[in-house]
Amino acid sequence: SQQGEEDPQALSIQEGENATMNCSYKTSINNLQWYRQNSGRGLVHLILIRSNEREKHSGRLRVTLDTSKKSSSLLITASRAADTASYFCATGNSGAGSYQLTFGKGTKLSVIP
């Protein structure tokens, strides 16, 4: 079952602009992670934010988590053509008997040079 739902499904921006992607989920989580996938390749882990954290930064990436709204956002600042990829959120769930990492369907980001 897929818990994370990214929004928008696709996003096209000019190089230098900021890109914001959102993720909503349904049940309580242990953590939320963002991954990147270049076309036809494996996923690369970008950042992990725990349920007791509200914001995290890594280079040009900023992730926020609002557990009351069950949502997260990924902001990429000063985008580059090399940021063109699909971005997935994944929720780490730790309910009784379940230790699952559940992926959404992704946001496809295109950065135009």
Q: Which residues bind other proteins (CB under 8 A)?
A: 1-2, 4, 30-31, 33, 35, 40-45, 48, 88, 91-94, 99-101, 103-106
Q: CB of residue 94 vs other proteins: minimum separation in angstroms? A: 6
Distance CA 69, CA 78 (A): 27
Closest to other proteins by CB, 18 vs 94, is 94
Q: CB of residue 39 vs other proteins: minimum separation in angstroms? A: 11
Q: CB of residue 16 vs other proteins: minimum separation in angstroms? A: 28
Contact between 104 and 3 (Cβ < 8 Å): yes
Facing residues of 95 across strands? none
Contact between 73 and 64 (Cβ < 8 Å): yes
